[in-house]
Every structure is written in structure tokens, then in C-alpha cells.
Structure 1
Amino acid sequence: IIIIIIIILMIIIMHCFLNGAAGGADPDWHVEYPDSFCVVEGSTATIPCSFTHPKVHRRTGVVVERVVWCHSNKYCSIGNVYDSNVRADSRFRYLGDRVRNCTLKIIKTVKRDAARYRFRFETNVDKYTGLRGVRVNVTKDVKVRSSVTDHVVKEGGQVTLTCTSACSFHQLDVHWYRKGHALSEKGPALHLSSLTNDDTGNYTCSLDSSKQKTSAPWSLIVVVDEGDVIIKKNIYIYIFFILLKKFTAQCGSIIITTDFFCTLFYFRAFPPSANMFKLVAESRVLNGIN
């Protein structure tokens, strides 16, 4: 019986030693971070974090001697991605300090980074781990969504493009590109107004300037409305079908290529009894404007 009691006491002591601060019961010891954090694969994420501890100890005062970030381990005994006592060059950077800030930065996130992360700090008096942790989710998709349903917009009109994903963009710089060239506008939304022919092209968004994670292109064609006939200035349309799977349409200086077999442009009578024809674009296949 004595041996059993000793073993139980040792387990309790070890538990308190690993967790510190009486298992987190003391409100003076605390770690605060979001419940979950979503990041797009390939981008850089900054996880906000703060911690508190008793400012004064009756004998020595409190000095933080070590800070640790870990994942998939309750008390950071293993699986450390950052340890202030270990010099290592990794994708995990500690942006905090030893006073209050415990922010963690993850560079070029990958799918395996998805996990529950915990912060632990050790002082000259005690140790504490924020057991709740923060769940980091990693998603792949970045998409461009438009305020209009069609890819063809009349000259002088406007359209708003939005860079979206399953995540909200935490402290990320969203960059925009037209025909592969960077635009000066930044942010999740790109507003284009007073459209002209110069605005025609493929639009993509990226979550940082390195273009590590770029969306699929969204194609915009600006046309001129002349009464019942919609035409493009100085444009002559030639359509070529290649192997019934791929064709190229040359519209002046613009080359449109698609891997789908369908009609890119077609004419129909408007009205049926008249000799006027209306040019209609099948926007669902405009996925390759250079």
C-alpha cells in the first residue's frame, strides 16, 4: 500500500512539474490565443498570442527564462517547433518576447503544419503551458470571385474582383496581377471602374509578393455597346478548331485558347426578323487570355 501511495504522489508531482502553476488554476498564469487559425498553404501565417504571470514573487520576483512552442503534445515535452534554448533555422519564428507577447510566425506553410499548437513558458519560480492551444488549419484553394456573372463587361462599366479562400486572410498581403503583371492595388478586393479595352485580360491574386500561392486566372473582356450590336473596337474574330479538343480564337492582338470543345463566339439574329446580329461570348470557356 505504501508503494502504491508513493507512486501516486510521484505521478501528481510529475504532472505539476510538467504543467506548472498548479495545472493552470492560478488566474495569474495564463496564455491567450485564438481557438483556431486558418492559413492558405504556401503563405506565411502569424498567430497572435499573449501570456501573463505574477509580476512579483515574495522572494525573488519572476523572470521568464525559457519560451517554447510545440504541437501535438500536451506539455511541450516533445514536438517543439521553437525553443528559446535551442538555436535552429526553421520555418517557425518567434516574434514575441519574454514579457507578454508570444506571437508565432510560420513561413511557407505546408499541409503537415495543420495541428494544435501550444505555448509554454518557464520562469525562475514555476512553469506554465497554455493547454487549450490553437488549432491551425491549412487549406489549398485561392479563388477570384467577381461581382458580375459574365466575363464580358461593357466599356465604362465596373466590376469588383475578390480574392477568397476557406480562410480569412490573417495579416496577409493580397497582391493582384493582370496578364502576369503586378498591379499597384493591394487587398482582398480589387475594384475596377470606368472600364476600357486596356482592362481586358487575365486577373489573378496572390497572398504575398513571392506569388507562392496564386489563384486560377479570371478573364475579363471589355466590349463597346453600339445599339443592338455589341462589338469590340478594331477586332476581327477568327476561330480555329484543333483536334476537336482545343482551339484558338484570335481577336486582334488578343489570343484566347481553351481546352474545351465548344463555341467561343457565335452570332444570332436580334431581333430574329432583322438583319442585325448580336455578338455573344460564352464566358464559361474564357480561361486562357494572354
Structure 2
Amino acid sequence: MVMSVRMAAPLPLIFLLMIHRVSSADWGVSYRHSHICALKDSSVIMSCTYTYPTGYQIMKVFWTKNPMKVGGEHPDLSEDPKYSQRLQYLGDKQQNCTVRLNHVTQKDSHMYYFRFTTNVTDRKWLGKPGVSLTVTDLQVESPERVTEGDSVCLTCKSSCTPTDRATFIWYRNSQPLTERRDRNNELLLQSVRREDAGRYSCALHGHISPAIHLNVM
């Protein structure tokens, strides 16, 4: 009888270790995009989903950013005056953790993370590696000197490639060049004339760049 008890004793321990391993694997956050490039003053959607083991109740869900900890705790961006009026949580307390940030500026270029807490004090999760957000602006580049008869290429540039690519629209003297709509960020003017001179700008997703003046000699 004693021998059988000694042989059976380790089995519950092995069983508990197996349960713990399966349970731990259920914690996680998955982001649709790990890097997002957005235009200044646009709205950014950071899509994500999260999982956790059954038996836990979600108490709080929020987004945070680098530097993450303030006094040992992760700050909730919805309570930050710089974000509270622009941040909208589109998710829930089940699986969806998507958030939208409106009217972004270059100061919003950070690493962002989703975090959730449960009804068990030490059972909380921070979704690393997170989402890297870079906010950029559009700028038109052109040759310094243009002579009548030249072929001129204007380029709509940004510090990063916008995640949501769309059709570029070009403007001359604030009027759209309706024939110049392309997914390419370049505007080619062949055999320019003096009438082609003016202020050129480009737009993407309705966001227009500062205009540059093209002078044809």
C-alpha cells in the first residue's frame, strides 16, 4: 500500500504543470499592422485582437505608449489630456482591442501597446512588441531651374510610405488637375510651357501638401 501511494504522488504535480502550460499559452495580443505610417491630421486605426484563458473576467482594457511605466504602472492614454479627446476605443472586453486616434501629429509618433487586466490581481497582459506609429507630412519636390521645352518631374514625398495607399491628386493654383490622378507619387510634365508655371501641390486621402512655385524660364 505504501509503495502504491509513493508512485501515485507525482502524477497530480505533472497534471498541474500541464494545465499551467496550456493556460499560459492562451494569453496574447495580435496586431494587424506592426508599423503604421500616417499623414498628419489624419485618423489612424490600430486593429488588434486579444486572447486569455477561460475562467478569467476582463476588468479593464486600455492603450498605452512608450515610455510605458509611470510610478510602476502603465498609463491609460484615455486619461491623458493629450489623447483623451482624440482616442476612441472601438473594441470590447472579449476579443477586439481596436482603437482609433484622430488628428494625429508628429508628436504622436511612438510605440503603442494594448493592455488588459483581469479579476485576478497578478493576471494582466501587455501586448508586446506593439505598434510603431510614424506621422508624416506631404511635400512636393521639383527641379530648381526649369526651361521652356523641358520635361519636368514633380515628386510628392513623405518621410515614410503611408500604410493606406490611395490615389494621389495633383493641384495647380489650388485647382485639381483632373487628368493627373495616379497611384504613383510623381507628376510628369512633358515639354513645359510658360503657361505651366504656377503653384503645385499634391494630396492623398484629402490631405494637401504645402504648395511649391514652379517657374518656367
C-alpha deviation, 1:208, in angstroms: 4.4
How far apart, in 2, do the equivalents of 1:27 and 1:150 lie?
Answer: 62
The SS at the match of 1:167 is coil
If you compute each CA radius of gyration, which structure gives the higher value, 1 or 2? Answer: 1
For the 8 Å contact 2:42–2:104, the answer to whether it is kept is: yes
How far apart, in 2, do the equivalents of 1:145 and 1:162 lie?
Answer: 5
How far apart, in 2, do the equivalents of 1:208 and 1:218 lie?
Answer: 23
1:113–1:89 Cα change, 3 Å: closer
Which residue number in structure 2 is paired with residue 110 of structure 1?
A: 105
2:170 alignment partner AA: W
How far apart, in 1, do the equivalents of 2:47 and 2:210 lie?
Answer: 30
For the 8 Å contact 1:176–1:186, the answer to whether it is kept is: no
1:145 alignment partner AA: E
Q: TM-score, normalised by structure 2?
A: 0.60
- Whether 1:143 and 2:139 are equivalent positions in the alignment is yes
C-alpha deviation, 1:69, in angstroms: 0.8
How far apart, in 1, do the equivalents of 2:29 and 2:196 lie?
Answer: 49
How far apart, in 2, do the equivalents of 1:175 and 1:81 lie?
Answer: 35
Instruction: Describe how 1:75-154 pairs up with structure 2 within 5 A.
Output: 77-82=73-78, 90-122=85-117, 126-139=123-136, 142-145=138-141, 151-152=146-147, 154=149
Gaps of 5+ in 1: 1-21, 222-280, 282-290
The structure showing larger relative contact order (alpha-carbon pairs under 8 Å, at least 6 residues apart) is: 2
C-alpha deviation, 1:134, in angstroms: 2.8
Aligned residues with identical type, % of pairs: 28
How far apart, in 2, do the equivalents of 1:130 and 1:51 lie?
Answer: 10
For the 8 Å contact 2:64–2:74, the answer to whether it is kept is: yes
C-alpha deviation, 1:162, in angstroms: 3.0
1:69–1:149 Cα change, 3 Å: same
C-alpha deviation, 1:138, in angstroms: 4.0
Which residue number in structure 1 is paired with residue 5 of structure 2?
A: none
C-alpha deviation, 1:98, in angstroms: 4.6
- Whether 1:166 and 2:156 are equivalent positions in the alignment is no
Q: How many positions carry a matched residue from both structures?
A: 184
Instruction: Describe how 1:1-290 pairs up with structure 2 within 5 A.
Output: 26-33=24-31, 34-40=33-39, 42-54=40-52, 57=54, 60=55, 64=58, 66-71=60-65, 72-74=67-69, 77-82=73-78, 90-122=85-117, 126-139=123-136, 142-145=138-141, 151-152=146-147, 154=149, 160-171=153-164, 174-184=168-178, 185=181, 187=183, 189-192=185-188, 199-209=196-206, 211=208, 214-219=209-214, 221=216, 281=217
Give the CA RMSD over aligned residues: 4.0
Gaps of 5+ in 2: 1-19
Post-superposition CA distance 1:34-78 (Å, at most 9, x none): 5544444x3325253322314x72xx5x66554211123249945
The SS at the match of 1:82 is helix
C-alpha deviation, 1:193, in angstroms: 6.3
Q: TM-score, normalised by structure 1?
A: 0.48
The SS at the match of 1:112 is helix
